[in-house]
Structure 1
Amino acid sequence: MRKLCVLCYAVLAMLVICESAYALVKLDEGRMMVNGIQLLQDYADPHSYYYVPTYPRVAENDDGTLSFLCLKYVDPAGKTGGGLFHALIEFSLPPDAVAELEKELKKTVPDAKIVGPVPLMQSEPAEGEDEPGSFEVVSAVLGDVGGFTRKVVTSGKAPITPGSRAALAAILNQQGATLLWDSLSGPTSDVSIAINAYYEAAVMGFDARITADVSTVYEHFSRVINVQQDYTRRQIRDIVDDLRRNGTIKVEVLDRTKALDLKAGDLQALVDTITNKIIELMFDAKTGFSADPPREVAVEQNQIMGRQSKGWLARLFTGSGDQKYYTDNQYVMKRREDIRQNTFSVVLTKNSTVKVPINTAGNIRGLYDALKDDPRYFRVVNLADPAFEFRTIYFQIDGDYASSFQDTVNFVAVNVRKKLGENPEFTSTLRFSYDNIKDGKLVQEVTYPRLGEKEASWLDYEYQVSWSLRNRSTIAIPSDPNKWLKANDPAISLVPPLDKQVIEVDADRGVFNDSGVMSANLVFEYPLLGETKRTRVTLRSRNTESTSQVTLYTDKGSKIHAKVTWYFKDGRRVVQDLGETKETYFVLFPPSAEG
């Protein structure tokens, strides 16, 4: 019995699950629908819930206004015209909706609270894609075909973290501006936002329950009546001795390890060991659960005295003869009931996590009917009044390089100059920082007056761009501070003077283990503004993911030099020089044992 208890404690110790550093929700239990919103229970706290957003929506500013703009600029002369569309998108519920949701939840779970949206992660890239398709714009007008747009910029990443936003900006020609404006006035617009993400949830992969119930019932009843006097004795005995044993064992196993790709061989071995031990104890009549109880003696030895006996002298002359009984009248009754009940129960579980996809879309609709008279959202700019006309120039960060502000670009400064004839020239400076990009503000604007200028040259302006890179000198375009770039476009896309290369490294961890490889250190060397920069990617044999991805920013047209160092479990180190390459996909194989 002691061995079995020790085994149970060992099983419980193995089943302790360390809490993750991030929130984890349950998938098998605790889910509920409230007001059409799915709520998921926290894995560690049964009173905490997370909601799953239903669809993306236009973000709100701190003052309650919407982060949305649809603008048309019109020139009666037909020389220029078109539109601009800009919106910030978020994937969460408004605070008042969350408060109402928590109020309804408390009706079912009084102590419950809503922590926030379920922690989401970016969807994995599809085959043949360099970036995850987590944020997509579904629109015929804003699409790549049809010729309705001059430029479409998106932040590329889905707004899946609390407080995050995704940006969408587009510059339209005349036809595209007209079609988009008209579609926004209907019940369903031509602009939909699709979100592709996933969250991790805990599921039960292996559940085994072993229960055993053994009972032993022993009943004894005995009665003795004895009447004896002189030469007469009358005796009645009634004895009943009954022993009954009942035993049941129940083994229930739910095994989902194949579907979840889990290894539960150790738990199955424990189930077999515990089951065999219980069966052994159930059928062991000496020391196990079914051990016989001590039997009750019906009438103990010398309990009833017999005949009287002569002394030795009398037996010498007369012999033994027929002697009298001792006078002894007895009534003895014994009743004993011995019940032994042995109950055993053990539960073995193994949990895992699965990736639950979220694929949803929301349509930007209903805004025109509610906001058509508010010039902050919908307005038409007439370019025909030279006296009071103003022109707005939009500068936007290219969405492909928005992620460079995380580790490569400090900020971008734009100087704008407009010469106004005899009037003082107009100057303004814009600055894009990491905080702007993180908040989805990829577009900034500069507005200058026409001041009655009648020539089309009033559309011309000049600008300079300065890129501040981390640990590098600032790149000025043009490099001469006295020179300016000339332009007359209503919007300028800002692209850093760098090449962006997304490199994916693939390696089979099974081959690592077979070859005795502990880890591989892949180093990329590349030029960046006259200096050599190194980026490392470390692949370990214990990693579960087979692929790693890294983004490099290099000088225009430069090559990358790659070198991998292999570290073996026996202490050997082998260096492989992969040379210069422009490849963006690497498949690594360990060198031979002789190498």
Structure 2
Amino acid sequence: MLQIDKAQMISGVQVYGDHADPALFYAVPQQPTFRCDAQDRPIFMYLKYRQPKPQPSGQTGGGFATFDTQFALDDTARVDILEELRKQVGPDLADRVSLGSITWASGTAHLNLSEVGGKLVTKVWNPVSPSLYGDNVTPFTVEMPDFGATLFAEAMQGKGGIVQVSYAMNGWVKLPKITGYGHFNSLKFRSFVQDAHDDAGWGDDSFSNKMSELAVNRDVVTVHTESGAGADPDVVAKIDESIRRTVLDMATKRMTEQIDGYTGDRSVLEDYEAIHREYSNIRVDDFTINISQQTAVLWPFNPQGTLPNITTLVDKQGQPVQWADHYREIDLNDPFFRSFSIPVRVNADFSDGLVHSVDAHVEYPGDTLVTGDYHFETPNQTESFSSYVKGDSEEVQYSFTVNYKGSSTVYRAPAAPHKGPLTINVDDLGVLEVEVLPGNLDFEKVAAATVTLAYAPATGTPVEDQVVFTKEQNKEQKLSWLIAEKRDRPIRYKVDYRMPSGQVIEGDWVEVNRQRLYISSPFTNVRKVKVLAVGDLTNKIDSILVDLRYEDAENGYIQTSTAELNAANGFREWAFPVLDSDGGTVTYSGLVRYKDGTVRDIPQTVSDDPSILVGDEVAGVIAVTIAPDLVDWSTVALVKVALTCDTDDPADQQIKSAVVRKDAVPPSIAFYLLDPAAKKDFSWTATYYLNDGTSASTASVTTGDTNVLLPRLATTP
């Protein structure tokens, strides 16, 4: 897949490297062009009306232009790019160098003439999107009023240009070394409350009927990225926007439906003392996508520019293109002006699939039956069906026959009505094509992901297949089945994940209606467990060894870890990926080693608390904070504080000390009490070591105040 930060400019074309294959590259032209035929003549026709044509809007029609644009490399640039890339990779890979195709997810092509209204342009037609295969061909049709027709004819000749095209393409790419997340939260809420009241008291009744309705829609998108040192800020900004676009794309698919408000009874009957109606409807959606180097995200590619004028082009023989070959002036009385024309194309990848060719048949029941037959072997091919209009209907009937590679099977689609531009998509061709991509699988946490796919056609034998992704095999894989019928049913798939430990997490079956499947990591959450040592790790406890275990029995998922705690390291945080943040059980066991050589076992214990305390059980803790704010550091080099905690049992006496220096955070002191009834007092004394080499000590202070404020030394007279 295209690696977005492996970019360079060659012959005016942006060239990207592949995330895994050093000999595979992707070239992205900076500017769209006219699509040309085999002789390099532009697919362009302009018809100008000799007399103005009245329109229902009151305007008068003056001209009609049809042409195709494309977003593709020309042959000269392709040769130059491949030659330069072969030099870069060296002799070992030169023979393997090739240009791949970007996996396009969506796209649009926009004509500047669409925004020019009034006297210049009446209307612009184009399909919903470019082909997304091959050269991303987009056919355009432009109708102009009389004034605009004259301007267009003159402006398309000579140097310069008037037609500007901007593509907005979204392709799947691999990210550089960057992490981040995109979060979406949506709340849709509807409520209705009605209170009707009749006081039914003495005299005239007073009646009230109050109704209130509330509608709340809240959608929040949060995006955060973290990049390493030296990352290109422009690339990071685009990645941030790409994550936002990916989140919005997912959110749009999940939150397309609006929730209903109250539609029930609101009436109030007479002689009812009170009526209360209350209704609420809420829908919440919340998800997070985590971004890493393995993540595939949508990336914008926006080639745009001004198309060259027809008369500045040359054909394959080097001869200038003549305006007269692409222009006709038509008499309004000609029956042509009761005609219509529709582009016909096949939106499928013929180069890498089961489809060899498609034969399309289009017919229109005019004064006589008008038919058109077309043979397609490339997605870049666009044909045109034209006929006189009978009455007000421009509806045609179309059918097609699909011929497959290496098979005698032929699929004949039944005739169907259609109006407007005709595009036969890959799902209509009797072929089930599925592209499976590894998405954001992290192969440090997942050893392999096995994807099982199944499809049950209306007739014929159900199909089933598998693909496996590993650290070594992490490229997208394409599966194709010949079903010889229109694909109109969902695909079922499930993912089984094999962990580095060998255990397997089995996924559930999921139904989708997509051609591309992005397999994500099973771990959407991270669980954290803190292990803290308690007790006297300075004088009594040598070390604490803790065995930790997390088990999600429902999914057969287990994680283990070991922590060793001592006086130098009395804290450990264990973070591990989980399938369900609320599922699974944490257990721990271990042993405590004492400085006198004895050992005590810690039995296996289930913990629901994110913080686990291990060591000597304590009934209380005296946590002492030393505050040196009053110390005159201009005369004092350092202060040593000695603290003693006396309990009722002399054997449990605890003595600790701390050294306090200027501009350093004083260490924390903690006394652990084994007896819940033990007194909470302790004593302390401080020794001041002065810059002149002398020292001075304070008197012992016994206190229950855990904030020890070191005093300023009295000035020596």
Specify the TM-score bucket, using the shorter chain as the normaliser.
0.3 to 0.5
TM-score, reference length from structure 2:
0.38
TM-score, normalised to structure 1, is: 0.44
Higher RCO by CA contacts (8 Å cutoff, separation 6 or greater): 1
Between structures 1 and 2, the one with greater helix share: 1
